[in-house]
Amino acid sequence: MPSTSFKAPRGDTRTCPTWRSEAILRLLYNNLENAERPEDLVVYGGTGRAARSHEDLERITSALETLRDDETLVVQSGRAVATFPTHENAPRVLIANANLVPRWSTWETFNELEKQGLTMYGQMTAGSWCYIGTQGIIQGTYETMAALARQHYDGTLEGRTVLTGGLGGMGGAQPLAVEIAGGACLAVEVDEARADKRIQRGYCQEKTHSLEEAVAIVEDAAEHGEPTSVALIANCATALPRLRKEGFEPDIVTDQTSAHDALNGYIPADVPPEEAQTLREDDPEKYLEASYASMADHCEAMVGFQDDGSIVFDYGNNLRGQAQQAGYERAFAYPGFVNAYIRPMFCRGRGPFRWVALTGDEEDLWATDDVVTSMFPEDETLNRWIEAAQERVPFEGLPARVCWLGFGQRDRFAKKINRMVADGDIGPVAITRDHLDSGSVASPYRETEGMKDGSDAIADWPLLNALLNASAGADLIALHNGGGVGIGLSTHAGMIVVADGTQEAEKRIENAFITDPGMGVARHADAGYKEAQRIAEDTDAFSWWGTRQDR
């Protein structure tokens, strides 16, 4: 029988030949330890898997347990296909997930191929084995809310109400992120079990089935300047129109339901969650029709709130694209979150830097927390996050942390981690990031929406990012199709570097954490963003930029 419970190995004893392969094995099982549906190997995001099947998981595990530091394991959509002789500074693992020839890169084709057992949906961090539980998206959501607060509300959401939807593996981060930023969050979730899970873990304060009670809770908290959150057990497609009709006036409206996947992610109005899977299997066409209709209603309500004066933004789940496909003409009336709030950080190579204590010792994380805050004391957003995370964000699986760092910061901190390992202060650490990053993704409905030069759909950049990181010596490289927004709508790359305390690791770290955020600076400089061009002009790695003043 498929396992419904996984646990990443802990301790100092390896089952793999080296820490580089051991780290990747532990991260794979850490994904599954945090999975939404471990029995199906689904980590998050509808059907975002860590491996194609349980048999494939066993083969991957066996391959990693014998993988030497001069070999590279190749994984095609969750299946180990070969181990090749390479060299010590080559990646230990190369992954490609759900990549289809562009003309056939549709959900319809993907679903047919998946049914035949030929591929799997890797989402972003699910299929590249660097998911760290809800913390990973809490911090990114907090960064967005903090940027919004700086732009609109003098740096805080105190006294502000946020209306959103979805409390799954990604959306479940929203209530706590809003609270850390000072606001009061009303999150609509149709699946009560998901809301219960977030409340149990401290990511959301309470729940109710009463629309009136939910509104009263957040309005009272905002009036008194108190951060809070409440889950309203309801369907967004019916709850948001009703909230608007009854006069609720949220300051901010967004959404993180699994709208990217109309069949396996989103739950239509009038379909109880416990009956959704049966309808998907028995009549997928009827399910899709209902799902698209509900997403149109959902999106229309959000546009209505914007018309009423709320700040509304898309959080990268392709709700707008799905609603437009359903026939709602004003679907793109509100902007995406990157274009509205995050792009200035991307221009500086700033993005999500994650690290995982591979032995499972929480003291290793506390030590690195102290180091990152002492290295960057001027970064108020970072320091506020670390303090809040230590107090309110429980570790899920192996102890892990995430913070946003920019070009020139990531390599410094990563090398410091490796030296701490070398000195015996902490155990080995895996360093990684989300695919939502400065130079690792092409996603016209999300990270690359509204690029200054119109290059939204150019996918060369994530491909070059992966190739460059492999050349720099990153230990794992992953290339995916469709994460966040759905098949055919994005190309993105992930990476992992292992800090095992060796001099060889320090060189790989130095290279990879210059090339990775550096590609983001190059991508935005090439698109004409002045801040990225300034960094490029002032950095030796971009000496070629002096000949490109016309850009």
Predicted pLDDT of residue 551: 46
Sign of CA dihedral 66, 72, 75, 80: negative
Q: How far apart are CA 77 and CA 47, in angstroms?
A: 13
Domains and CATH numbers, the chain: 135-335 (3.40.50.10730)
* H-run or E-run covering 84: strand 79-85
Other CB atoms within a 10 A radius of the CB of residue 142 amount to: 25
Q: How far apart are CA 97 and CA 520, in angstroms?
A: 22
CB 526 within 8 A of CB 506: no
* H-run or E-run covering 231: strand 228-233
First to last CA, the chain: 59
CB 267 within 8 A of CB 288: no
- Give me the catalytic one of 130, 185, 204, 403: 403
What's 543's DSSP letter? Answer: G
The answer to whether residue 403 is catalytic is yes
DSSP-assigned letters across all residues of 320-387: HHHHHHTT-TTGGGS-BHIIIIIHHHHHTT-EEEEEEETT--HHHHHHHHHHHHHH-TT-HHHHHHHH
Residue 232 pairs in a beta bridge with 188, 208
What's 550's DSSP letter? Answer: T
Residue 229 pairs in a beta bridge with 185
Q: Which amino acid is at 256?
A: Q
Q: What is the largest CA-CA distance in the chain?
A: 65
Q: What pLDDT digit, counting tens, does each position of 35-93 carry?
A: 989 999 999 878 999 999 999 999 999 999 999 999 999 999 999 999 999 999 999 99
For 114: left if phi > 0, alpha if psi spans -120 to 50, otherwise beta; the answer is: alpha
Q: What pLDDT digit, counting tens, does each position of 277-318 carry?
A: 999 999 999 999 999 999 999 999 999 999 999 999 999 888
CB 72 within 8 A of CB 83: yes
Residue 79 pairs in a beta bridge with 76
Q: What is the token pair recorded at 96?
A: 């490609």
List per-block mean pLDDT (blocks of 10 residues) for the chain, which spans 551 residues: 81 97 98 94 91 98 97 98 97 98 97 97 96 87 93 95 92 92 97 94 95 98 97 98 97 94 92 93 95 98 98 93 97 94 95 97 97 95 92 92 95 98 98 94 93 97 98 98 94 98 97 96 95 90 58 46
Predicted pLDDT of residue 46: 80
Predicted pLDDT of residue 487: 96
DSSP-assigned letters across all residues of 106-159: SHHHHHHHHHTTS----TTTTTTT---STHHHHHHHHHHHHHHHHHHSTT--TT
Q: How far apart are CA 508 and CA 518, in angstroms?
A: 15
DSSP-assigned letters across all residues of 278-299: HHHHH-HHHHHHHHHHHHHHHH
